[in-house]
Amino acid sequence: MLRTCRVLYSQGGPSAGSWQPLNFDGGAFHLKGTGELTRALLVLRLCAWPPLVTHGLALQAWSRRLLGSRISGVLLRASLYGQFVAGETAEEVRSCVQQLKTLGLGPLLAVPTEEEPDSAAKTSEAWYEGNLSAMLRCVDLSRGLLDTPGPSGNNLMQLKMTALASTRLCKELTSWVRRPGASLELSPERLAEAMDSGQNLQVSCLNAEQNRHLQAALSRLHQVAQHAQAQHVRLLVDAEYTSLNPALSLLVATLALRWNRPGDGGPWVWNTYQAYLKNTYERLQRDVEAARRAGLTFGVKLVRGAYLDKERAVARLQGTEDPTQPDYEATSRSYSRCLELMLTQVSHHGPMCHLMVASHNEESVHQATKRYAALDPATA
């Protein structure tokens, strides 16, 4: 993770005065037993098998009917769940985190709850309130995972907006935000005012039910952000589909007005930018400038992207332009441009600008650490 005026290495890594390039020599494997490594290889192969990826949910339902919930659950925990989830209880999560700390790795917890944008199910308000309770507990857990959690806010947590606001509302908001001369009714300033005051919000492009849900969603987001700041936990809002992202960015901007003020030690709310989308660099450039003009701190989680096939399929179905980069090389160039932009911002603006380089690509990580050392001689 890169932030403020220096490179933040893993806890077991070198200090700022003795910069060394990161290496990926497989040292993490010595923490794993033969059984865990075998499971990891099996899960890797299964996740690369298209029929399982396409029909995973149907196969899971079939397994429950055939084997029963108990046996099916045991198999799931021993395979996919055990590979990707830190634990079912706080004690299991802490044990996993302590193991990773021996490699200098820190936690980034997430509540795995969300809606699919094309889901036909009508989710009740109680479902979102339940997710709110889970989010607040996750904040507390994130706070308690570090041995010395201080006010610097090095604790991190991923936030999924569609766990607190419906995808149907987000799609409706997106359709209005994208229109030329979008209504001031949907400005971050007006939403932030309603969020702070708790007063009823009436947006003319929404019906009565949607207005009530928007008000409730703003209240939930406010509670999570307020609790996160009080516990010194930074919220990294996850990006989703292009049909939702403009609405999610609107909600992030709303939270930023309240929780990313420099005097409060922000940014407490970060947005995620997907380099595999064609317009990411321009949007990132625009948002950096908007935060600077507003005098706000700015937090960025830079990723490559996770919904490539779905985005392309939706574009073909709707007869619209494919929003994604044409190939892997173009995505890599996009990621590098965005990375260079943010590294320069971090170098020049210090604690006003924070960056997480969230890439599975080794070359990107080397680029980030090497370029930042060049931009800031104090880290070299």
Q: Where are the domains of the chain?
A: 1-25+260-380, 32-88, 107-235
pLDDT of residue 117: 63
378 touches 6 (CB < 8 A): yes
pLDDT of residue 275: 97
| pTM of the shown model | 0.86
pLDDT of residue 76: 86
Residue ranges of the chain whose pLDDT lies below 50:
1-18, 150-151, 379-380
pLDDT of residue 184: 77
67 touches 75 (CB < 8 A): yes
pLDDT of residue 148: 56
Q: What angle do CA 109, 112, 113 make, to 5 degrees?
A: 135
Q: 325-334 — which CB contacts under 8 Å span 24+ positions?
A: 325/275, 325/276, 325/277, 325/278, 331/275, 331/276, 331/304, 331/305, 332/361, 332/363, 332/364, 334/275, 334/276, 334/277, 334/278, 334/280, 334/281
pLDDT of residue 9: 30
